[in-house]
Amino acid sequence: MAVVENGLVSVPSACAAKRILVHVCCGPCSIMPLKSALAHSAEVCGFFHNPNIHPYAEFKKRLDAAKTLSRLISVKMIYDEAYAPTGFIKGVKARSPDKYPQYGKRCLYCYASRLEATAKAAAHNGFDAFSSSLLYSRYQNHEKIRLIGNALARKYKVSFYYEDFRIGWQAGITESKSMGLYRQRYCGCVYSKMESKANGKHAKKGA
Ligand code: SF4
């Protein structure tokens, strides 16, 4: 809602974005962020870029779910369909002193690399702002994502569209089920897949 002060209209940053590029990690997590962006912006485009996902069969399922979502809610989407997990693994290992990159530490590189690709694409294509479906997940470090997004906004001179999409957690789950979207059973990387198997349950879902 716009705020009027001393005769001047201040539009909240979320509403000020005319063209916004939203990083899409998977179909289910992207429903609420894309719908919110649609409600606040003149033009919304999704951006599927997830080199963290392992293996290829899982990558393809999430890519297909993003395409289905794009069709169902009529949002344009850019797809980075190149499957290149080697760069992701190298990036994680380069920043991890541990033999086994731990959950949390490894995620910082994972957030930063995907958000940076989104910020770059947004700046390059003349978008006013960028955001990410990572802000929907209850399993991710929300504050770190926010900090990284803000730092990248300064670096690439394009606004970071921040919203706590976790508020729509249950609505997103319900909608993803009614849309019949593929719902993943682990976060995405090879490590989260191994941990999911070892725990025998859904470990840190949401890519
Ligand atoms: S657990 Fe998830 S957020 Fe963390 S590195 Fe793996 S895919 Fe990325």
Q: How far is CA 184 from CA 31, 63, 109, in A?
A: 15, 12, 21
CA of 110 to the centre of ligand 1 (A): 6
Q: What is the value of pTM for the model shown?
A: 0.89
The pLDDT value given to residue 7: 40
26 Cβ inside 6 Å of ligand 1 = no
Å from CA of 191 to ligand 1 middle: 8
Q: How far apart are the first and last CA of the chain?
A: 31
Instruction: Give how far Cα 138 sits from Cα of 99, 135, 171, Å.
Output: 27, 8, 13
In the reported structure, the alpha carbon of residue 207 is separated from the centroid of ligand 1 by a whole-number distance in angstroms of 7
Q: How far is ligand 1, taken at its centre, from the CA of residue 187, in Å?
A: 6
Report the pLDDT value the prediction gives residue 204, as an integer from 0 to 100. 54
Task: Report, as ranges of residue numbers, the positions in the chain whose pLDDT lies below 70.
Answer: 1-17, 201-207
- Residue 150: CB atoms within 10 Å: 13
pLDDT at 199: 84
For domain 18-199, give the CATH number.
3.40.50.620
Asked whether 119 and 101 are in contact (CB, 8 A), the reply is: no
Atom of ligand 1 nearest to the CA of 109: 5
**Ligand 1 nearest-atom number relative to CA 106:** 5
Q: CA 144, 36, 80 angle in degrees (round to 5)?
A: 65
User: For ligand 1, is residue 182 a contact (CB within 6 Å)?
Assistant: no
Beta carbons of 25 and 114 less than 8 angstroms apart: yes
